[in-house]
Structure 1
Amino acid sequence: MIFKAVRDSAPYPDHGVTRQRDWSTIAPRQIRLDQLTTTRSTLDLRNLLDDDSTFFGDLFAHVVSYRGELYLETGLHRALRAALQGRTFIHARVLELGDSGVALLAPLPPETGGNSPRNRRN
């Protein structure tokens, strides 16, 4: 088995971290493929080639950690390529979400300033 599980959608609430600039503030780390649950069951070429995809933007996959599970949000193509090459891990940026779905120590959008509850631990 390549992944821990395959889902058709994300089981966590919308975290609001959507811009490449926000994700880029999270340092990448190695994640084992067999610890990941995908949030997509299919690889769509339109999504793969979209300007906002990790194919053109970020070199690293985006993973959300929520309630003790790791969910592959973007970068399915990178994970599959790694598996086909016989690798058991990928480098990914991991966004930690608290039980309430609020990003822990997530980068703040410039419009909100530093007093937003998104930047506080639960």
Structure 2
Amino acid sequence: MIFKGVRNGKPYPDHGLSMRDWAQIPPRQFRLDQLTTVTTALALDKLLSEDSTFYGDLFAHAVRWHGEMYLEDGLHRAVRSALRNRHVIHARLLDLDALNIDAVAEATPVGRPVDGDTAGVDATATTAPILAAPADTGALDAPTDPAISPSAPDGPPRPRADAHGWTAPPDRPRADRSRAR
């Protein structure tokens, strides 16, 4: 069997993560026989298409809930890996067990506290860094993006002149072409 199990539907609560939120979770390797799929239908046209994974996230999405790992998104990519005799895929894992949200799971999506109460959300979880709140130091921190340079003290940081990825060619003295003839 390729996967640990096949299930129709998600047994875990809705986490409410957007594609941008998923992108904050670093991908890791997972064996296919550790994952349970949440989709029973497989579209062969998507499976056999060369560009079926061109749009969307490059990595599959998996969710850990009550010790079980569920493959939420990326079933076609996982089946293609299995057909090529690869038993490992790279996926982003949202660990709902580490977030300890059993008490508020049905009422609130992950990372959205109830009336400002953050007791049910573990902000130090390493599998979902998007939920960690930055510490308020009271001072202005240096920008973390190397493409951002500080501006005036009262203004927002501005992109550096070379932050677009290319630089202007250096000024070179031109050879006098009239002498070459």
Q: What interval of TM-score do these two structures reach, taking the shorter chain for normalisation?
A: 0.7 to 0.9
Q: TM-score, normalised by structure 2?
A: 0.52
Give structure 1 regions of 4+ aligned residues with deviation exceeding 4 angstroms: 45-48
Instruction: Give the CA deviation at 1:45.
Output: 6.8
Check whether the contact 2:28–2:91 (CA below 8 A) recurs between aligned residues.
yes
* Residue equivalent to 2:95: 96
Distance 1:36 1:62 in 2: 11
Q: CA contact under 8 A between 1:30 and 1:92: conserved in structure 2?
A: yes
Letter paired with 2:24: T
Trace 1:30-49 onto structure 2 (pairs within 5 A): 30-44=29-43
Q: Which has the higher contact order (CA 8 A, sep 6+)?
A: 1
- 1: CA distance, partners of 2:33 / 2:78: 10
Partner of 1:5: 5
Preserved contact between residue 46 and residue 76 of structure 2 (Cα < 8 Å): no
Q: What is the rounded CA distance, in whole Å, between the counterparts of 2:57 and 2:117 in structure 1?
A: 26
In the TM superposition, residue 4 of structure 1 has moved relative to its aligned partner by 0.2
Deviation at 1:47, TM superposition (A): 8.4
Q: Which of 1 and 2 has greater Rg?
A: 2
Partner of 1:77: 76
Deviation at 1:117, TM superposition (A): 3.4
Residue 168 of structure 2 is matched in structure 1 by none
- Structure-1 separation of matches of 2:41 and 2:29: 23
Identity %: 54
Instruction: Give the alignment of 1:55-66 within 5 angstroms.
Output: 55-66=54-65
Determine whether 1:121 maps to 2:122. Answer: yes
Q: Aligned partners of 1:46 and 1:118: how far apart in 2?
A: 46
* Aligned position for 2:147: none
Higher strand share goes to which structure? 1
Task: Measure the CA separation in 2 of the matches of 1:64 and 1:30.
Answer: 14
Amino acid at match of 2:9: S
Q: TM-score, normalised by structure 1?
A: 0.76
Distance 1:40 1:118, change over 3 A: farther
Tell me: CA distance 1:37–1:118, structure 2 relative to 1, closer, same or farther (3 Å): farther
Letter in 2 for 1:69: E
SS in 1 for 2:13: coil
Q: Give the Cα–Cα distance (whole angstroms) in 2 for the partners of residues 75 and 86 of structure 1.
A: 17
8 A contact 1:82–1:90 mirrored in 2: yes
- 14 and 80 in structure 1: CA distance in 2 versus 1, 3 angstrom threshold: same
The alpha-carbon deviation at position 57 of structure 1 amounts to: 1.4
The residue type equivalent to 1:16 in the other structure is: G
